[in-house]
Amino acid sequence: MRQTLLVTINTASKHQYSQQGGETACSGWSLLSSPVEYAQEAVKKGSTAVGIRGKDIVVLGVEKKSVAKLQEERTVRKICALDEHVCMAFAGLTADARIVINRARVECQSHRLTVEDPVTVEYITRYIATLKQRYTQSNGRRPFGISALIVGFDYDGTPRLYQTDPSGTYHAWKANAIGRSAKTVREFLEKNYTDEAIAGDNEAIKLAIKALLEVVQSGGKNIELAVIRRNQPLKILESKEIETLVAEIEKEKEEEAEKKKQKKST
């Protein structure tokens, strides 16, 4: 009797995660041992997001899915502000993310009300992680199927980047990626995240774009980028600005290739 019950629970979990999110196909799932693993699988099927911590700027970039012809482009938002100085991007089930973001926004204001100070990035990350953990250990609820990248500045001006995953753990990072091609992007970042690569604001933004261009299908059109500079609110870059930066990156690549050719020939 017990054995069959377990199987029922597992297939039910699998069903819960694959029903949502439209983009995922049922056939990719195998029988896993816990609902948290199903949630992590759901995250791996979400679109890529990358976060970079610079010196005076923090950058979030996400892969924008190409929208259907009749769909309004602006309603699909994967980067959300939690407070004036903190924002997050997620990978995974969009509906789950909506709940988490809402709770985090309320907690940011509640903290301002009780403590009379804005939240630190670590505090709100810990809150989100605790929220996620509670759902992995309670009756009749399934874990949130999202990983989040949370960026911002603390009140003392330090930039921060944190990543949470469905099990409720969180870590601080200098740069990280989540979602579909996270591994590729992370390898790229490990090679290219140097002190000179993040020396200035523009350099950090270009690094984020370069990282996404590795995995995104058709270039600048499918990238959404947001930055927070110290003491300034969240700014979502317009597609024109992204196009300009992509063009600069292409030019730099060509110049690099030219230099290498010249070196070889001489």
Q: Which of 127, 144, 153, 188 binds other proteins (CB under 8 A)?
A: 127
Choose which of 115, 199, 247, 257 interacts with other proteins (CB under 8 A): 115
**At which residue do the structure tokens 């407070």 appear?**
83
Site for other proteins in 177-196 (CB under 8 A): none
The reply on whether position 109 binds other proteins by CB under 8 A is no
**Binding to other proteins in span 65-94, by CB under 8 A:** none
- Residue 123 found at the interface with other proteins (CB under 8 A): yes
- The vertex-8 CA angle with 6 and 13, nearest 5°, equals 95
Looking at residues 134 to 163 of the shown chain, list those that interact with other proteins (rule: CB under 8 A). Answer: 134, 139-140
Site stretch for other proteins (CB under 8 A), options 7-15, 62-70, 187-195, 220-228: 7-15
Per CB under 8 A, does 7 bind other proteins? no
Q: Under DSSP, is residue 86 helix (H, G, I), strand (E, B) or coil?
A: strand
8: contact with other proteins by CB under 8 A: yes
Provide the pairing of β-strand 170-172 with 159-164: antiparallel
Neighbours of 67 (CB within 10 A): 12
3-state secondary structure of 146: strand
C-alpha–C-alpha distance, residues 106 and 58, integer Å: 23
Do 59 and 84 touch, CB atoms closer than 8 A?
A: no
The H or E element containing residue 134 is: helix 121-136
Q: Which of 112, 117, 108, 113 has the alpha carbon at shortest distance from 87?
A: 108
Q: Which helix (H) or strand (E) holds 110?
A: helix 94-115
Member of 7, 23, 66, 117 binding other proteins (CB under 8 A): 117
Task: Name which of 68 and 113 has its Cβ closer to other proteins.
Answer: 113
The distance of closest approach from Cβ of residue 129 to other proteins in the complex, given in angstroms and rounded to an integer, is: 12
Which CB sits closer to other proteins, 134 or 183?
134
- 75/20 Cα distance (integer angstroms): 18
Please tell me whether residue 231 binds other proteins under the rule CB under 8 A: no
CB of 247 to other proteins, least distance (A): 44
Q: Are 162 and 170 spatial neighbours (Cβ–Cβ below 8 Å)?
A: yes
Shortest distance, position 2 Cβ to other proteins, whole Å = 13
Which of these ranges, 43-51, 123-131, 210-218, 246-254, lies near other proteins under the rule CB under 8 A? 123-131
Interface stretch with other proteins, choices 44-52, 127-135, 204-212, 257-265 (CB under 8 A): 127-135
Which residue of 6, 7, 11, 12 would you call a contact of other proteins, by CB under 8 A?
12
Question: What Rg value do the Cα atoms of the chain yield, rounded?
Answer: 20
Chosen residue from 72, 73, 116, 196 binding other proteins by CB under 8 A: 116
Give every CB contact of residue 129 below 8 A, 6+ residues apart in sequence: 164, 168, 169, 170
Binding site for other proteins (CB under 8 A): 8-9, 12, 107, 110-111, 114-117, 120, 123, 127, 130, 134, 139-140
